[in-house]
Structure 1
Amino acid sequence: MNQMIIRTISTLLLSAGCGVYAAAQSPVTDSTTTAKAASVNIAYGTQPAWMVTGAVSSVKGTELRKSFNTNLANTMTGRLRGLTVLQGNTEPGVNSPSLYIRGVNTFGSESTKVLVMVDGFESNFEQLVPDEIASVTVLKDAAATALYGSRAANGVILITTKRGQEGQLQVSFGAQYGFNKPVALPKMVNAYDYARLYNEALQNDGKPALYTDADLAAYQQGNDPYFHPDVNWYKQVLRNSAPMSNYHLNFSGGKKAVRYFAALNAISSQGMLIKAGDINEESSNSKFNRYNFRSNVDIDLNKTLTAFITLGGTVEDKANPAGNTTGSLFGLMAAIPPNAFPVYQPNGSFGGNALYANPLGNMLQNGSYTSNGRTIQSSLRLTQQLDFITKGLSVSAAIAANNYFNSYSNKTAQYERFSISRNNNGDTVYTRFGQKTSLQGDESRSDQWRNYALQGFLNYNRTFGIHEITAMAMYNQDSYSISGNNLPYKHVNGGTRITYANNRKYIGEFTMSYMGSENFPKGSRFGAFPAVSAGWIVSNENFLQHSRAITFLKIRGSYGLTGNDLIGGQRFMFDQLYPFINSPYFGTANTGTGGLAEGVPANPDVTWEKEQKINVGVEAAFGERWRFTADVFKNDRRHILARPYYTLPQYMGVDLPMLNVGKMNNKGLEALLSYTSKPTAGIQWMAEASATYAKNKVVYNAEAVQQNAYLYYSGHSVGQPFGLEAIGFFKDQADVDKSPKQIFTPVQPGDIKYKDQNGDNVIDQNDAFPIGKPYLPTLTYTLHTNARFRRFDLDIFFQGVNGSTVTLGSNYYAFQNNGSAPSMAENRWTPATAGTATYPRLSSQNNLNNYRYSSFWQRNGSYLKLRSLELGYSLPASLMSKAKMNLARVFVNGTNLFSIDDIEGDIDPESLSVGYPAMRTFSAGLRIEF
C-alpha cells in the first residue's frame, strides 16, 4: 500500500508540473514562518511569528475555498498540520465530522471534543463559510493552550473572521455551481443471482430450494416484472447527480476612523434523493439551503479608544421526505432483496410485504420533514490605549452573545402497500400491509443553545533597545445553556502571559490560567494551569547571521499542564442522587408504585482530567526557497473517569462510582517541508508536504481482572478493536472435527475458522483478541502543489492516512434477517472454489458463527485521496483595468476526485456503513473583485 501511494504521488507530481502557485510562501502558515512573516494568532491575541514558542499551525480562509462543501469543518481536511478530520455523515445539513488534534489523549466517554473559539469566544463554527474567514489556527501544545485552562487538553481551534482595512471600497463577488455524485454505493446482487445464491444457501442448511428453474429463468429474462421483479432500489430512489451552488458578495474598506467588512453568502445543496415533492405534493424535495451574513465594524471613537463590533449569523433550511435524515432510508434500500416486490403492483399500488416497506412509497407517502435553524454571533469589544500612563499599555473589555435555535416541522402519514400472489384459479390476489392515513403535523420539537461571555484584558507591549516585552492579564467568564437543561454550564477563568525576547535571539514565555467550573465540588472547582516555553533563533547568532544556506533557524520547546473538564458521566456526580423508579407491585392492582432509590454512589473528589504536555520543535528556512519544520510531542493524561472494576468486580452486585483513576499517554511527531520556485516570468510553482504521526496508549483504566492477559484493553490504543481472529475457512468435515469447538452454532465446511487464543480447545468470547487497528489513523499526510503559467493557475491537494482499520457493516452479511446479499458473496466458499473463495459459505439463516465481529470483516483503512483540484484563468490586466477590476477569474474545481486504497470493489474507506454515501463534487465558478 505505502509503495503504491509513493509511486502514485511521484507520477502525479511529474504529470502536474509539481504544483500550485503561491506568491512567496505556502498558503499554510504556522509558527515555522520566517521572521519576515506577519503575525500569528495565539490564545487571546497575536504575536510576531518569530516570537511564537508554542506549537501553532494555521491556514487562510482563501485556501478552504478549494474544497467545495457545505460544512466548514470538512474543508479543513488535511489543511492544518496536527488536525485530523473524520468525515462521518455526508448528508447536507447533518455532515458534521469529528475533529482530533494530535490524535486521541483520553478514553473518556465525552472527552475528545476540541474547543473552538470564533473571534475569541466559544461558538458553533461549522456553518461559517470560507469567504468570511481570515484564518483558522490550531493550538496544540501547553504553551499555546494553557490560557484555556481546564478546557484545553484536547487542543484549541481559533477562527478569525475578516475585518475591514483603511482604504477605498473593495467589492468581491463570486459564484460557483456544480453537482455531487456518490463516490460509491453498496453493490448488491440482482434478482437472478439472489435467487440462485439463496437456493444454494438453503441447500447448505439442508432445506429444499425455494426457487424453481422456471423462477430462475423468469428472473434472468426479466419478462415477469410483477411476480419475478428485479429492483435496484438505489436507481429508483437516487438521482445520478444533485446540483450544488454557492454565491457570495463581500464589501470592505473604510476611512481612518471607521473600517468595515460586510458579507452575504448563499449556499445550496440538493440531496441525492429524487424530487419526491415534484411527484407528490404531500412529500418534499431533499434540499439544504443556508444564508450567511456578517458585519464587522471597527470604529475609532477617539484617538485612543476603539470599538470592535462583530455580528454574524446564518439561516438554515433543510427538508427531506421520509425522515429528518436519510439514514433509515439508505438502510432500507440496502436490506431489501431485489426480488422482494416490485416498486408498483399491476393496479398501480405500492409493492411491499410484512417485513419491508417500500422505499419509494416512504418518500412519496410518508410525508415531509423540515427544519429551520437560526444562528447569531455577536460581540462588542472596546480597547483603550493607556500610553499616557506608560507607553505600550492598553486595556480592553468585551461582551459576547451567541445563540442557536432550530425548529422542526414534521408532517407524517401512513400508506398502503401490497404483496401479490396467485390463487388456484390463476387470479392475482392482493395482500395489504399498512393503512392509509391523512397527514398529521408535529412541531413540538426544537433545539436551542445560548452562550454568553464577558472578558477583560490588560495588555503591555514595549521594546527597550534589544529587550522586547509583551504581557497580558485576562479575565473570562462564560455561561452555556442548552434547551432541556435547567442549569447552565459555567466557567470562570483568569490568566496571564509574559513573553520576553532578547536581541531577537532568545525568547522566554510564561503562561498560566486559573480556571473553575460548576461541575465540580465546592472548594475544588478551580485549578492552576501553568506553562513555560523558550525559543532560540540560532540564525540571528553571529556564526549564522550571514549564512546564505540557512536564512532562518529557530529551536523551541514547551512544558505545561492543561485540563479537560468534559469528563463524561452524570453531571454533578459529587452529589448523591436518588432517582425515581418503578417500585414493586403492591396489593392486587396491576400497577407499580413510584418510588425513590439510591443512585450511583457520589464521588466527592471528582475532578477534571489533567495532562502534562511536552513539545520540542525546530523551524528552518534554507535560502529563499526551502522551508522546514518538525515537532516532537508527548502528552501524559491522568484523572480520567473510569469505574474501578479492578478493585471491586461487577459480580458484587453494587453500582460503582466513577473515579478519576484512568491514565494514558500520547506521543508523536509532525513535519513539514516546502519549496517555492523563483518568481520568474515563466512558470512559478510551490510544493509542500506534511505529515503528522500520533500514537496513544491506555496506561490504566481500572478494568476488571481477566483470566487471559490479551483481554485487557490497557496497553493498547484507544478504540483498539477486540474480536475473533479469523484464520480461514474450514476445508472439510475432517477439519471441523479436529479443530477446537466453535460454540456459537454448529459449523460446516466453508464456515469461518477462528484461532483458539487460550488453548482450551473451545472458541468463545474468551478468545476475543486485539485485531486490526483503531478507527483513528496514526499517520495523516498531505501533498499540496500549485503552479501558475501566465494567466493560468493550477492547485492540487492530496491527503492520505495510514494506521487505521475499518469494518464492513451488517449490509455485507448475505441473507441476514432475510435481507439482500452483497456482490462480494459471488465469491463464496463452495467445494469447487475452496482454494480461491474470499467469502464464507452461504446460509439462509442468521449465521451466528460467520457474522460475528472478527478480523474477517476488517479492512485496511489506509487511503490516498485527491481532495481537491482547481484550474483557473485570470483575465489580462489590461482588460481588468479598463473594467476597473482588480481581479476577474474563472475556474473549474473538483473535490474528493479519487481514492487509492486496499479495499476491494467500489467501496469508499471513509463511508463503509449504510447511510448517505461519500460525495464527489465537480463545479465551475467565477470571482470578480473591484
Structure 2
Amino acid sequence: MNPKNYYTIGLLVVLGVVCNLPVWAQEAGKDSVTNVTALSRQSYFNRNVDRPIGYGRQPAWKITSALSTVSGSDLQKNFTTNLSNTLYGRIPGLTVQQGGGEPGNDSPTLIGRGINTFGNGGRNLLVMVDGFESSYEQLVPDEIESVSLLKDASATAIYGLRGANGVLLVTTKRGSDGPLVVNFSTQQGFHTASSLPQFLGSYDYARLYNEGLVNDGKAPRYTDADLEAYRTGSDPYFHPNVNWYDVVLKKTAPISNYNLNFRGGNSTVRYFVLLNAIKSNGLYQNVGSMDPESVNSKYARFNFRSNVDINLTKRLSASLTLGGSVEDKANPAATTTGSVFTSLATLPPNAFPVYNPDGSFGGTSALSNPLANLLQTGSYASNGRTLQSTLKLTEQLDMITPGLTISAAVSFNNFFRSYSNKTKTYERASATKTATGDTLYSRFGQKSSLLGNEDNSDQWRNVIFQGFLNYNRSFGKHDVSALLMYNSDSYTNTNNTTTAVLSLPYKHVGVGGRATYTYAKTYVGELSFGYMGSENFPKDRRYGFFPAASAGWIASNEPFLKNSSSITYLKLRGSYGLAGNDQIGGNRFMFQQLYPYTAAYYLGTANTQVFGLAEGAAANTQLSWEKQKTLNIGLELTLAKRLDVGIDLFQNDRYDILVAPNRTVPQYTGITLPLLNQGKVTNKGFEATIRYSSKSASQFQYFVETSAWYAQNTIVYNAEAIRLFDYQYTTGQPIGQPFGLEALGFFKDQADIAASPRQIFAPVQPGDIKYRDQNGDGLINQNDTRPIGKTSIPTLTVNLHSKFQFRGFDLEFLFQGVTGRTAYYGGTQFQAFQNNGQIGPIALDRWTPTTAATATYPRLSASNNLNNYQYSSFWQRDGSFIKLRSLELGYTLPGQLVEKIKLINARVFINGTNLFSLDHLQGYMDPEVSGIGYPPLRTVSAGVRVQF
C-alpha cells in the first residue's frame, strides 16, 4: 500500500470537557493526527460542528439545552475493563461512584447532577447506545466516538417518562469518505491494590486483647510466654502470625489490551470495523496452578463491531450497526469474591496457621481457611455474550419539499450470561500441643468430590422500533429544523429464578418531537415534547405529556460585538420543562389489589403451620411516575480565542415520588399502606468550566482546563411518621443524610460518668465514648440520634485536566477532587475485636489512664462493646479527596521516520490510572470505597499506537 493514498487521521486527540456544549471536542466522525496545532485550535461554539442530542444531531451553535460531551480518545487515558470506570471527572455534572475493582464485577454507580429522588425510586441514567437503549459497560473506548450527558428538560423531554434522571448518549464510530485507514494498538500493564485494610500482627493482637479482657474485668488469655513467641515468631504452628492478605493476594496482576480497527469508504459505502481483546487477571494467588480442581482468577473479553452506511439509491440510504462482545470470567471459591474478603478482614492473625505440621489446612469448626477456600472449594466460571444490532433506512423526500426525510429503524439488543459452578468441601484441622509435647489434631469438615451446576443464567434483551420524520431547511437568515418520532420498546430481564411477574416484558410506547428556529445565527428558539406510556401504570393514567422550551442568544453575532477582538464568542441560553422517571420502586402493577399466598396459620394440637391467601398492600389506583420541573440558565464565552468559559445554573424540582403515607394514615387502620405519589425534593447547583490554550503558532502547545460542579438536594416532603423531636425528621435534610449520636469525647473518670446522662447501651467506664443528650431527658438512647456528618455523595467536584506538548513529546493528566461528603470508620477494620475479629493500627492510640489526654480511640474491650460502637459522629471522617485519575507520557515518532517504515503515524506511551489519593483517612481505606471487599485498582501500563 502506498502511504500517500491514506487519509491522515490522528491517534491522540486532546479533548476538554465543558459544562454543557462540548466546547473543545473533536470534529464528529474524524480523528486528528497529533501535531503542534491540535492543542491550541480555536473554540468553535459558532461553527457548524454537529453534536449528539436526543435522537439526532445539531450544530454546536444551535444547541440551547444543557449537555456535556467527552470523546472516546479521552476515555483511552483510563486503562480499565469497564467503560463506566473511564468516566471519572470527564463529564461535568456526572458523579461516578466506585464500587470495587474486581475485573468483571466493577460496575460503578452513575449519577447525573446529584440525587433527585429518595426511597426505592431508581436514580439510574437512561443509557442510549447509538440511539437505542442497551448495555454499554462492555464497550471499549476505541469504538466510542463520544459519550454525552443530557442534563436539562429541554434535552431529555423527548424521552418522556424516562428522562428525568438524565440521559447518557454513547455514540460509536462510523465510517468516513476516504481511503482505508488501519489503526493498531496494544497496551500491557499490571494492577495493584490502591489500598488494603490494615491490621496488627499477632503480638499486638494478643497483648491488646489481654488489655481488653482486663478492662472487661476478666483474666488475660495470653501468657508472657505466648506474647514472646508471637513477638519472635519462634513457634509458627502453635503461635502463628498470618497476614491473610499476603497469603491470598498477589502484589500485582497483569492486564493487556489489543485493538485493531479499519475505517474508510467512498460516496456509496462507508465502514468502521473493530476487533478488540482485553484480559485482566485477578489479585488472587494462582490457585488453579496449585490445584487442578480450582482455577486462576481471570477476566477476558473480545469485542467486535461493524458499522456500515450504504447509499442504496440517490434518495435511499441504509445504516447497519452491529456490535458485540464475548466475555469469560473465572474465580476460585465464589462467583464474586466478597465473602473471601470478609474472611480476610475478620480472621485474627493468630487463629491458626495456613498449614499444620502434618501438611493439613489450618482451621477450626467455626473458622475456615481462606487459602483453602480458594484451593479446595471448587470454581465458578461464567460466559457472557452481548449483541447490539440495528438496521435503519432513510428516504429523502425532496420531491415533497427540500430538507424532508423519513426514517425507520429496528434494533435488537441482547445480553446473556451462563454460569458453571463447581463446588466441593475440604477437611481442616486445629492443632494443639499436649503437656508431653505431642501434637493433637481436631479435624473439621469432610473432603468431598467435585459437583457441578450448569443451570444458572441471566438474560437482558430488548426489541425497539423507531420511526422519524425530519426536516432541515435554511431560508436566507432563517434556519428551521424539526423532528417527529415514534418509539416502541419492549425489554425483559430474566434468570432461572425469576418469578412470573418479574419476567413479564417492560414496555414503553410514545411519540416525541422537536422544532428549532434560528435567525441570523443569533437568535435560537426550540420547543420539544415527549408523550409516552408504560404498562406499569393504570390504563386510564398510562400516558404522560412532557413539554420543554429553550432559547439562546449568540450575542457575539450582534453588530456591536461582531468585530470585537476580545470577545470571540458569547452565548446566553435558558431552558425550562418537564421530564419523568418511571423507576418508581415498589412492586410492579401496584394499581392492582393483590392477595399473595403468604399467610401462615398455626392449627390443631400439633400447632401445624398452614399457608393461605392474605390481603396485600392496598392498591393505588392513582399510581403515577415521578415528575421533575427543571430550570437551566447557561453562558458560554470565549475571550481572545484562547480562554473558554462555560457556566450553568440549574434547579430541579422533583415531585410525585412514591412514599408510604405514614404521616396522614394511622397504623390502627390495620392495613398495609400503599405507596402514594406524595414525595417532593428540590435540587440546586451549578457547573463551570474554564480552559486556557496556547497560541496556535507556538511550538510549545498546551491547554489547562479546570471544571467544577455542585449539587445539593433537600427533601421537601416525604410523609414520614410524626417524630417525638424535630431534629429526627428527614424532611429538610439531604437525601441519605446520616442520623446518629453526637460524640463528645471520652469519659474522664467515674465522677464524669456520674455527672453525665445515663447511656443505656452498655455499662460505661472511663475511656468510653460520651454522647450528647439531645432532648435533655437524662438518658442517652435512640431518641438522641440526630443528623450527623454528610452523605457519601460529594456535593462539589473539581477537576484539573491539562496537556503539554513539545516537538514529539506530550504529557497529559487529570486530577479530580471532591468534597462535601463523609466517610465512616466501621466494621472489623476499625472496631477492635468485634465478633471475634481483628484489630487495626488505629487502636494503638486507644484511651488508657496514662494516655487519656492524647487518646483518639476509646478504651479496648474484648467483648462486643455496644456503647462505643454505636453509629455516631466519633467514627465519621471528612471524605474529601484528590485523586490522580490518569497520567500519560507519550512520544510521537517523527514524520520522516514513520514514512520510511510505511506508516502514517506512530506513538509510544506509558500510562497510569488511579495512581494515588490525597485524603483525610490516614491510609486506612480508599476514600471512595467503604467496606472490606475487593479493593480499587491502580494500573500502570505501556503501549504503542500505529496507523497505516
- For normalisation by structure 1, the TM-score amounts to 0.97
The answer to whether the Cα contact below 8 Å between 1:22 and 1:787 also exists between their aligned partners in 2 is no
Distance in 1, matches of 2:602 and 2:708, equals: 63
Distance 1:50 1:22, change over 3 A: farther
Distance in 1, matches of 2:703 and 2:684, equals: 31
Q: CA deviation at 1:28?
A: 5.6
Distance in 1, matches of 2:719 and 2:587, equals: 19
Distance in 2, matches of 1:140 and 1:763, equals: 45
The answer to whether the Cα contact below 8 Å between 2:95 and 2:114 also exists between their aligned partners in 1 is yes
Partner residue of 2:34? none
- Please state if 1:637 is matched with 2:654: yes
Counterpart of 2:900 (choices 851, 857, 882) is 882
Pairing 1:512-911 to 2, within 5 Å after superposition: 512-588=529-605, 591-650=608-667, 653-811=670-828, 812-911=830-929
Total equivalences in the alignment = 910
357-366 or 575-584, larger mean C-alpha shift: 575-584
- Structure 1 counterpart SS, 2:898: helix
Q: CA deviation at 1:587?
A: 3.3
Partner residue of 1:280? 291
- Structure 2 counterpart SS, 1:544: helix
Partner residue of 1:912? 930
Q: CA deviation at 1:444?
A: 1.4
The answer to whether the Cα contact below 8 Å between 2:65 and 2:575 also exists between their aligned partners in 1 is yes
The answer to whether the Cα contact below 8 Å between 2:529 and 2:545 also exists between their aligned partners in 1 is yes
- Structure 1 counterpart SS, 2:503: coil
Give per-residue Cα distances to partners, 1:17-50, cap 9 Å, x unaligned: xxxx997973668426311261111000000000
The answer to whether the Cα contact below 8 Å between 2:13 and 2:73 also exists between their aligned partners in 1 is no
- Structure 2 counterpart SS, 1:150: helix
CA RMSD in angstroms comes to 1.3
Partner residue of 1:55? 66
Distance 1:651 1:770, change over 3 A: farther
Distance in 1, matches of 2:741 and 2:194, equals: 31
What is the identity, as a one-letter code, of the residue corresponding to 2:884? L
Distance 1:749 1:650, change over 3 A: farther
413-422 or 460-469, larger mean C-alpha shift: 413-422
The answer to whether the Cα contact below 8 Å between 1:71 and 1:96 also exists between their aligned partners in 2 is yes
Distance in 2, matches of 1:709 and 1:87, equals: 34
What is the identity, as a one-letter code, of the residue corresponding to 1:120? G
Distance in 1, matches of 2:799 and 2:48, equals: 23
Distance in 2, matches of 1:748 and 1:624, equals: 68
Partner residue of 2:261? 250
Give per-residue Cα distances to partners, 1:87-122, cap 9 Å, x unaligned: 112111010000011000110313211100000000
Distance 1:561 1:248, change over 3 A: same
- Structure 1 counterpart SS, 2:701: strand
- Structure 2 residue runs without a partner (length 5+): 1-10, 24-44
Counterpart of 2:225 (choices 197, 200, 214) is 214
Q: CA deviation at 1:792?
A: 0.4
Pairing 1:351-366 to 2, within 5 Å after superposition: 351-366=362-377
Partner residue of 2:390? 379
Partner residue of 1:31? 21
- Structure 1 counterpart SS, 2:344: helix
Counterpart of 1:158 (choices 169, 172, 179) is 169
Partner residue of 1:183? 194
Distance in 2, matches of 1:246 and 1:384, equals: 40
What is the identity, as a one-letter code, of the residue corresponding to 1:622? L
What is the identity, as a one-letter code, of the residue corresponding to 1:296? N
- Please state if 1:488 is matched with 2:499: no
- Structure 1 counterpart SS, 2:345: helix
Partner residue of 2:454? 443
Q: CA deviation at 1:429?
A: 0.8
Distance in 1, matches of 2:286 and 2:567, equals: 61
Distance in 1, matches of 2:493 and 2:157, equals: 26
- Structure 1 counterpart SS, 2:540: coil
Pairing 1:411-430 to 2, within 5 Å after superposition: 411-430=422-441
The answer to whether the Cα contact below 8 Å between 2:846 and 2:856 also exists between their aligned partners in 1 is yes
Pairing 1:114-263 to 2, within 5 Å after superposition: 114-263=125-274
- Structure 2 counterpart SS, 1:756: coil
The answer to whether the Cα contact below 8 Å between 1:352 and 1:417 also exists between their aligned partners in 2 is yes
- Please state if 1:296 is matched with 2:314: no
The answer to whether the Cα contact below 8 Å between 1:142 and 1:561 also exists between their aligned partners in 2 is yes
The answer to whether the Cα contact below 8 Å between 2:18 and 2:707 also exists between their aligned partners in 1 is no
- Structure 2 counterpart SS, 1:580: coil
Distance in 1, matches of 2:617 and 2:808, equals: 69
Q: Percent identity?
A: 59
Partner residue of 1:81? 92
- Structure 1 residue runs without a partner (length 5+): 1-20
Distance in 2, matches of 1:886 and 1:369, equals: 45
- Structure 1 counterpart SS, 2:943: strand
Q: CA deviation at 1:903?
A: 1.3
- Structure 2 counterpart SS, 1:810: coil
What is the identity, as a one-letter code, of the residue corresponding to 2:725? N
Distance 1:756 1:37, change over 3 A: farther
- Structure 1 counterpart SS, 2:751: helix
Distance in 2, matches of 1:627 and 1:681, equals: 18
The answer to whether the Cα contact below 8 Å between 1:720 and 1:774 also exists between their aligned partners in 2 is yes
The answer to whether the Cα contact below 8 Å between 2:17 and 2:90 also exists between their aligned partners in 1 is no
- For normalisation by structure 2, the TM-score amounts to 0.95
Partner residue of 1:66? 77
The answer to whether the Cα contact below 8 Å between 1:582 and 1:592 also exists between their aligned partners in 2 is no
Pairing 1:313-352 to 2, within 5 Å after superposition: 313-352=324-363
The answer to whether the Cα contact below 8 Å between 1:535 and 1:555 also exists between their aligned partners in 2 is yes
Counterpart of 1:108 (choices 116, 119, 130) is 119
The answer to whether the Cα contact below 8 Å between 2:595 and 2:615 also exists between their aligned partners in 1 is yes
- Structure 1 counterpart SS, 2:395: strand
Give per-residue Cα distances to partners, 1:283-342, cap 9 Å, x unaligned: 010011011000000010011111000000010111111111111101101101100000
101-110 or 713-722, larger mean C-alpha shift: 101-110
- Structure 2 counterpart SS, 1:380: strand
Distance 1:88 1:849, change over 3 A: same
Distance in 1, matches of 2:463 and 2:877, equals: 46
Q: CA deviation at 1:901?
A: 1.0
